[in-house]
Homo-oligomer: A and B are copies of this chain.
Amino acid sequence: MERYRTPDWSSILLPTVNHAEKSVIREMFQRLRSGDIISFAGGMPDVSMFPYREIEAATDQIFSDHSHRVTAFNYGPTEGYMPLRQWIVGHMRSLGLILEPDNILITSGGQQALDLACRSMLRPRDSVIVAQPTYLGALQILRTYGARIVSVATDENGPLPKEFEAALCENVKFVYLVSDFSNPTGLSISSERRQLLIELARLKGIPIVDDAAYQQLRYAGDNISPMISIDQRITCDNDREPLENGGVIHIGTFSKTMMPGLRVGWMAAPKPYLNKLIPLKQATDLHSSLLNQMITYNVIKEIFDDHVAALCKAYGEKRDCMISAMHDNIPSQVEFTTPEGGMFVWVTLPKGSDAIKLLDLSMKQAKVAFIPGAPFYANAEDGMRYCRFSFSGVSNEEIFEGIKRLGELLTDVLSGSRRGEN
């Protein structure tokens, strides 16, 4: 019996897998399962807003047509369900972008689109530029590929151009940005800054991967064209085919505008890139679920604009509640963003604060959860004094109550009476 060896997984697995840790968000959710805690932690949708009736009707429509249900349950094309790809082309035309279905790959959520982008381009020790802070899921993915993460500091208009330009000099394979209502800060890159960043990247021929997950969720301010539309406008030759020679890879998703559980997202990209990516998507999982693509298509073609408008109204009110509650309850030493859309408010504690310790206290005493800022930073220590609050998945009442309790705790902590405990 002894002569049989159990595989030594720690030596068999790649170092990037071995070092994979449970994410803070995963641990947070595990803690949330127990106890009566108001959670601003996950970037969760308001489940009461899911278009259940329309999903049911859309599904019935598929089941009642034999050719549709065969399509839904059989193997299908790797590129995705053609009517959905065509709908996305029309949708993106309304955002100022000219493309064709061949520029669209359907993915299992935006997450998979980002993962495929990384997988197609990254070798261990390749560099990727990100804004600081950035989506922690992106940092996780980049780490699984062993990428060197180059963080560029941001102001209220996005990554700082001088730092961005300097970062482009290194061994950079691509730039990753969340240009609209960023996760975690809730802030967007301004139109002028987008143009400047695209121009700088294009001078070096470095592609930009724009994660536009929150692009549709605007509650205030003026629309800003997606990076990919601006790229097409300023750099593409009109004589060429649409998106033949673009430099931006756009990631879209229905997780924020419809429902995340169906895992339907997309990538819009230049054809020379996408044609290479499709065999990689095929190797990964053959194709994304046809049933889910068809349900999504049947729902969005009927209600997309109206549903997004209803979401923006509801989420906009939640945002107003949170901002107002923070104004009323949070001590003045604590700063917070006022996002024009998305799901998040970004809170800055006084210098020297430790948001992870605050979270621990908050879970126990205020019974309020949020995500500490550290995991949104390539270097966790840079993010110790920040917190991300999500308002999308909670009720207005929970927002008022939770922020009130947190405000009391913060007042208490910052008045110094508890400083010693930290």
Q: A residues bordering B, Cβ < 8 Å? A: 1, 3-9, 12-14, 17-18, 20-23, 26, 42, 44-45, 47, 50, 52, 55-56, 59, 63, 69-76, 78, 107-109, 111-112, 115, 119-123, 137, 140-141, 144, 173-174, 199, 202-207, 234-235, 237, 245-247, 255, 259-263, 270, 272-273, 276-277, 279-280, 282-292
Contact = CB atoms under 8 A, between A and B. Distances in A.
A292 B261 CA distance: 9
A75 B261 contact: yes
A204 B11 CA distance: 13
Contact of A115 (B237, B279, B285): B285
A23 B286 CA distance: 12
Contacts of A109: 285-286
A49 to B, nearest CB: 10
A266 to B, nearest CB: 13
Q: Which of A73, A261, A289 has the most CB of B within 10 A?
A: A261
B247 A285 contact: no
A212 to B, nearest CB: 17
Contact of A280 (B17, B70, B234, B261): B17
A5 B289 contact: no
Contacts of A174: 12
A292 B6 CA distance: 35
A63 B52 contact: yes
A307 B120 CA distance: 40
Given A55-B63, A263-B288, 11 more contacts: A1-B235, A4-B235, A4-B247, A6-B205, A14-B122, A14-B123, A56-B63, A108-B285, A111-B286, A144-B280, A262-B291
Given A283-B115, A283-B141, A260 B74 contact: yes
A73 B47 contact: yes
Contacts of A261: 71-76, 289-291
A255 B119 CA distance: 26
Contacts of A140: 279, 282-283
A20 B280 contact: yes
B13 A260 contact: no
A108 B291 CA distance: 13
Contact of A285 (B111, B202, B234): B111
Given A12-B173, A23-B279, A260 B108 contact: no
* Most chain B CB inside 10 Å of its own CB: which residue of A3, A202, A205, A234: A205
B120 A13 contact: yes
Given A50-B73, A141-B283, A286-B263, A4 B203 contact: yes
B263 A285 contact: yes
A6 B244 CA distance: 9
A44 B284 contact: no
Given A6-B247, A7-B207, A280-B17, A44 B75 contact: yes
B279 A21 contact: yes
A37 B247 CA distance: 42
A247 B137 contact: no
Nearest to A293: B261
A12 B174 CA distance: 9
A140 to B, nearest CB: 5
A276 B17 contact: yes
B4 A199 contact: yes
Contact of A262 (B1, B115, B289): B289
Contact of A276 (B13, B59, B203): B13
A18 B280 CA distance: 10
A283 to B, nearest CB: 5
